[in-house]
Amino acid sequence: MRRPGWAAPGRWSLARQLLALQAAIVALLVGVGATLAYLDARRATDERAAHTVTALAESIADAPDVRAAVAGPVPSRVLQPYAERIRHDTGVDFITIMSPAGIRFTHPNPARIGGRFVGNTARALAGHEFTETYTGTLGPSVRTVVPVFGDGHRVVALVAVGITIRAISAELRRRLLVVVGVAVMVLAIGIGGSYLVAARLRRQTRGVAPGELRGMFEYYEAILHAVREGLVLLDRGGGVVLCNDAARELLDLPADGPGGRHVGELGLPEELVASMTSPEPRADEIHVGDTRVLVVNTSPVRSGDRAMGNVVTLRDHTELQGLTGELDTVRGFAESLRSQAHEAANRLHTVVSLVELGRPEQAVEFATADLAAAQRLTDRVVGSVAEPVLAALLLGKSAEAAERGVELEITEDTAIDGVVEPRDLVTILGNLIDNAVDAAVENAGVRPPRVRVSVHREDGRLVLQVADSGPGVDPADVPEMFRRGWTTKSSGGPVGHGLGLALVGRAVRRHAGTVEVAGDGGGDDGAVFTVRLPLDAR
C-alpha cells in the first residue's frame, strides 16, 4: 500500500529529483574518496612500519656496544636490558638479537631467550638486510633482519626488529576514524548544499514535475505559434527572448528570428522600439509603418519588485485601417451629399420664396446661375480627374469646405489619369485637405479661409499640392509631423487622433515619393504641402 505523501519517482518534482541525484552523486564521491583515503592510509601505515623497523634494526646493528656484547661470554646479560629499553622507547613490538645460528640473545619474553629464532635468516647471513611479513611467536608481524658485521666483514650476529600486524591495524583504525569523520562531514555538507539548491529550484518551479514542465512547454509553444496575434517577449535589457511566427511576419523579421538580439537592432522604427521597451504599460497604440499599421500593447512583467521584461502583443490593423479609410471616405461622401442637399434646400426655398413674391424672372435667374456654377465645378473636376472615386472625393471635400465657410479652389491645371493607386491618392489628398480646411477655419480671423488644391505631372512625377490660409507650421515641427500621434488638434477625426499625416507619410513612402512642407504663415499662404510620387514606381 502506498504511504501517504509518497510519490513515484517519475512524478517527483524537478527539485526533488535534483536533490536525489545530487545526494547520490555526493554519496558516491564521498564513498570513493573515503575508500581511496583508507587504502592510502593503509599503504602509508605499512610503509611507516617498515621504515621504522628497518631504521631501528640498522642503528642497533651498527652500535659498537652490540658487537662487543656479542663477542662476550654471556651476550644476553648485556643485550637484553639494552634491547628492552630501546623497544619501550621506540614502541616496536620486539627486538631480537641472535647468533648467526639463530639462537636468541634477546626477546620481549625472557623465557624464549636461548631458543631458536622463528623466521628466515638466509639472506641476512649472506650479508643482506631484508624486510618481510612473517608469523612468529608474537603472531604476524612486519620485521626487518639486519646482519651485524665483525672484523673482516664477517657476520657475527643478526638483529631482527618487528611490529605486529595487530599494532599496525590499531594505528590504521585510528586513522580510519579520522577518514570516516571527514567523509561524514563532507557528505552532510554536500547533501545540505544540495537541499538548499533544490529548495530554491522548488520555489522557482513551484514544485512542478519534469513531465508537467515538458507538457506545459509543448502546449505553450503550440499556442504561441497558433495565435494570429504577434507576441514578443523581451528581457530587462530589451533582448528578444521569444518571437512567434505572427510577430516575425508583422515586423518583417527573417525566418530564423531575431536570435536574442536587442529589439533596437532589428531595424524597427524608433517609436515602435520605444513602445515595446517602455517600463510603463502601453495600451492599443497605433504605429504606422511603410507597409503595415500595427496596434501595439506592452505589459511589463515583474517578480515582486524586480522587473523581468516586457510582453508585447501586435495586431495587424492594416486591413481595418484601410476599411476605416474607406468608411471615412464614404462618410465624407455622405457628409458632402448632406451638405449639398442642405445647400440645395436653401436654394430651393429661395427660389420658392421669389416665386411667391411674384418675381419669377429673378427666381429663374437665381436658380440658373447657381446651377451653372455648380455644374461648371462638377464638369471641370470630372473632366480633369479620370478616377471616379477621386472626383467624388474632391467634389465632396469642396461641399464640406463650403459648408464650413472655406473656399476650396481646385486649380485649372489639375489632372489625374489613374496612374497611381486610387486608395493611396484618397489617403493623401483626403487627409491633407481635411487638415488644410481645419487650419483655414482656425485662422479665419486673420485671413479669408481658403484652400488650394493642385494635382499635375512634372518631370515624370505626379505632384500633389495642398495650400491653406491657416497659421502655417513651425519648421521645428516638420521632422515630427509624419510620425504617429503628432497633431495640433484637440480631438481626433474619424481615422483616429494624430494619424492623418502618419498615413500620408506611409502612402508616400510606399510609392518611394517625397513630402515637402513649407509656409510659416508669414506670406499669402499658411502651410503648403507638396507630395511628389514617381510615376514609374507602382
- pLDDT digits over 242-275, tens only? 778 777 777 777 776 676 778 777 777 777 788 8
Q: Is residue 6 very low, low, confident or very high in pLDDT (cuts 50, 70, 90)?
A: very low
The set of residues, in sequence order, having a beta carbon less than 8 Å from that of 48 and lying 6+ positions away, is none
Alpha-carbon distance 487 to 498, whole Å? 5
Is the CB of residue 304 less than 8 Å from the CB of residue 369? no
Residues 107-120: pLDDT tens digits?
888 888 888 888 88
Provide the pLDDT for residue 102: 86
Mean pLDDT in the chain? Answer: 76
Residues 187-225: pLDDT tens digits?
778 777 777 776 776 666 665 656 666 666 677 777 777
**pLDDT at position 4 over 50:** no
Half-sphere exposure of 107 (CA within 13 A, CB side): 19
- For residue 504, which of 490, 489, 487 has the smallest C-alpha distance? 487
Rounded to 10 degrees, the C-alpha dihedral 325/327/328/332 comes to 140
Q: How far is CA 125 from CA 53, 65, 144, 145, 250, in A?
A: 18, 20, 13, 10, 100
Q: Is residue 536 very low, low, confident or very high in pLDDT (cuts 50, 70, 90)?
A: low
Q: Is residue 1 very low, low, confident or very high in pLDDT (cuts 50, 70, 90)?
A: very low
Alpha-carbon distance 242 to 262, whole Å? 12
Find the helix packing angle between 318-356 and 422-442, rounded to 10°: 60
Element (H, E) at 67: helix 64-70
Q: What would the grid cell of residue 199 be?
A: 529548495
Alpha-carbon distance 208 to 217, whole Å? 12
Higher pLDDT, 250 or 436: 436
Q: pTM for the full model?
A: 0.46
Is the CB of residue 510 less than 8 Å from the CB of residue 491? no
Is the CB of residue 414 less than 8 Å from the CB of residue 453? yes
* Residue 162 φ then ψ, to 5°: -145, 160
Is the CB of residue 538 less than 8 Å from the CB of residue 452? no
Residues 278-327: pLDDT tens digits?
888 888 777 776 667 778 888 888 877 777 888 888 887 766 555 565 66
Domains, the chain, ranges and CATH? 9-226 (3.30.450.20), 227-316 (3.30.450.20), 320-534 (3.30.565.10)
Residue with cell 440658373: 368
DSSP three-state, residue 484: coil
Find the helix packing angle between 14-61 and 165-205, rounded to 10°: 160
Residue with cell 495586431: 315
Count, residues in the chain: 538
Alpha-carbon distance 149 to 156, whole Å? 6
Residue with cell 557528505: 187
Do strands 139-149 and 155-164 pair parallel, antiparallel, or not at all (unpaired)?
antiparallel
Alpha-carbon distance 58 to 27, whole Å? 46
Report CA torsion sign: 59, 154, 132, 163. negative
Is the CB of residue 265 less than 8 Å from the CB of residue 252? no
Higher pLDDT, 362 or 386: 362
DSSP three-state, residue 36: helix
Do strands 282-288 and 240-243 pair parallel, antiparallel, or not at all (unpaired)?
unpaired
